Structure 1
């Protein structure tokens, strides 16, 4: 049986044996401490280790002549791997040791993967913020979408130039910074305009579609005729020779704030255009007695402003029908039972 001698095995035999084999034991003890590298760091395979071979007696001593060589453990690959491991260890130690030329050398440890991942996330966030800032700058502050044209549609009573002047402050402003409510509010100062539809057409155009107020009557103020809508809003002025095809209400501008005007305007607002254009005057001796006079002298007794839509339909039918068109007075105060004179 071949095995190394345990370090705790006691020395046996005579004292002379100890002296006689002292040198051999010293040599045997140093066999396990042999170096595997020379001074230059080069790896070499150590000499085969010699071990004691005991005969079958547990107390007998084995002389040096009974030692046998054992093969070096491992294959070529394990030896190559061991040399590589030793070379890497030496390389790490060499890099970590400061040189004589630079005693303050600091060893740089490899960065953590978590630190690299965090740095990459910050870089990605910074890139996204820069891209968003560039997009906002191009869309909201650059002249790429600046307003250069204002189109006005549906202007009949309104002077289109007045609308363009009201919207002049939007020229040069990017469309992305203009709200439709702002445009409506600006055009709302034009008296002829009742409502506005706004269309923003990229890249440079604002289209404004006007819904104008409807003039239903005129009032005379001096030598001028003032066109007003059903709410008494003054739309425009005309000369005597340019009178529009709507009836005149006596009383001048002061009548616009009275209840009589409210009664008359409700009646006029319900009439179809082909009947309204034939009227010459409209009067209201009282709120319950509205009277209309046609340009050819015919009259219409309306009564109060109730059932105005039904009365307007009946009056239009009587005026435009050939059998009743030659009448001089139409009483529609009771629309289900009209009378003709």
Structure 2
């Protein structure tokens, strides 16, 4: 039983394969190669072309196979297009290898294209690195700018706050308070400081306050306190009279600095009358006697009636009970006061007590 054409290779096909194995000269064509069963070419290059063009060249391939099978003795001449793939590409010469996909993949790498790709890749890498660096620098710049804005904003806010506190009438003086006034009239002090009403607290000058208080000699020292939002507080310490100087029927009361405190008809308690050199406010005897009286405890000061001194080294007192006290200079006043207090308690009828040497006190009855 005869097989259909294309399944068995005939004698003509064997001859054709023999001719294909012979060398081909220059300009000669490669004889057509046999195809495998089913019309599928066995050559890999023709197999690639056959896969794409088998639909178009199916009829021509079947006819050629039938002719070769019918007459095996007659050598088959290759058709003009035989040896090409179904897509029409000539697979017989070496120039046709460049058109095959598998051969195209096996071609050596083009150095120019590779260099261009490397250059593009390098440029892209440089651009990416520059972008990252620019983003980092921009972020640092933003942080620096933000910090500067915060600092400038804080300074401006503080300046505005200070300006509001200094220039705004919200902190102007509306109340003047006086603390520590007894011999000095507090109303007179408030009237003297009334010039500062309406002035911002921070603009109240200490020099202006000092000039306003100069007419009050009884103020020994003072302090100004500014209490927001509207209060100006004046704390004063008045001069204390320590010695009385007789002036006819009246007495001039002076403090330890010799400043006239007041003139009275009746002596206050604890202010002895000066005798001898102690009546001169500018003399050394007055200064020594005044310092001693100023530093004495209150209980002893209340017992003093007179103070005498011819120099700064022989201060003496006369107590209200008639006892004379020899004091000496103005040193060790507190220690002498302790000794005198003890002597007054132990010796009831002494006419003279000398504490000028507190380590060895002397008394006379």
**What TM-score results when the alignment is normalised by the length of structure 1?**
0.55
Picking from 309, 324, 330, the partner of 1:284 is 309
Contact kept? 1:270, 1:312, Cα under 8 Å? no
- Tell me, what secondary structure is at the counterpart of 2:242? strand
The 1:176/1:289 distance shift into structure 2, 3 A limit, reads closer
Partner in structure 2 of residue 203 of structure 1: 229
Picking from 316, 322, 328, the partner of 1:297 is 322
Unpaired segments of 5 or more residues in structure 2?
1-89, 91-148
Partner in structure 2 of residue 314 of structure 1: 339
User: How far is 1:168 from its partner?
Assistant: 2.5
d(CA) in 2 for partners of 1:297, 1:128: 75
| Total equivalences in the alignment | 236
Contact kept? 1:219, 1:252, Cα under 8 Å? no
The 1:244/1:186 distance shift into structure 2, 3 A limit, reads farther
Partner in structure 2 of residue 218 of structure 1: 244
For the pair shown, which has the larger CA radius of gyration, 1 or 2? 2
- Tell me, what secondary structure is at the counterpart of 1:215? coil
Picking from 240, 250, 265, the partner of 2:265 is 240
User: How far is 1:257 from its partner?
Assistant: 0.7
Q: In the TM superposition, what are the counterparts of 1:121-160 in structure 2 within 5 Å? A: 135-160=161-186
Partner in structure 2 of residue 271 of structure 1: 296
Contact kept? 2:316, 2:327, Cα under 8 Å? yes
Contact kept? 1:221, 1:253, Cα under 8 Å? no
- Tell me, what secondary structure is at the counterpart of 2:310? strand
d(CA) in 2 for partners of 1:283, 1:314: 20
d(CA) in 2 for partners of 1:271, 1:136: 49
d(CA) in 1 for partners of 2:233, 2:268: 32
d(CA) in 1 for partners of 2:312, 2:155: 69
Unpaired segments of 5 or more residues in structure 1?
1-54, 56-122
- Tell me, what secondary structure is at the counterpart of 1:225? strand
Contact kept? 2:276, 2:308, Cα under 8 Å? no
Partner in structure 2 of residue 194 of structure 1: 220
Contact kept? 1:281, 1:293, Cα under 8 Å? yes
Contact kept? 2:240, 2:255, Cα under 8 Å? yes
Q: What is the root-mean-square deviation of aligned Cα atoms in Å? A: 4.2
Q: Which 10-residue stretch deviates more, 300-309 or 254-263? A: 300-309
Contact kept? 2:250, 2:263, Cα under 8 Å? yes
Query: Greater helix percent: which structure?
Result: 2
Contact kept? 1:163, 1:187, Cα under 8 Å? yes
User: How far is 1:227 from its partner?
Assistant: 1.7
Picking from 161, 171, 182, the partner of 2:187 is 161
* 1:205-255 Cα distance to aligned partner (Å, 9 max, x none): 122222233321111234432221212122x22322354531011369970
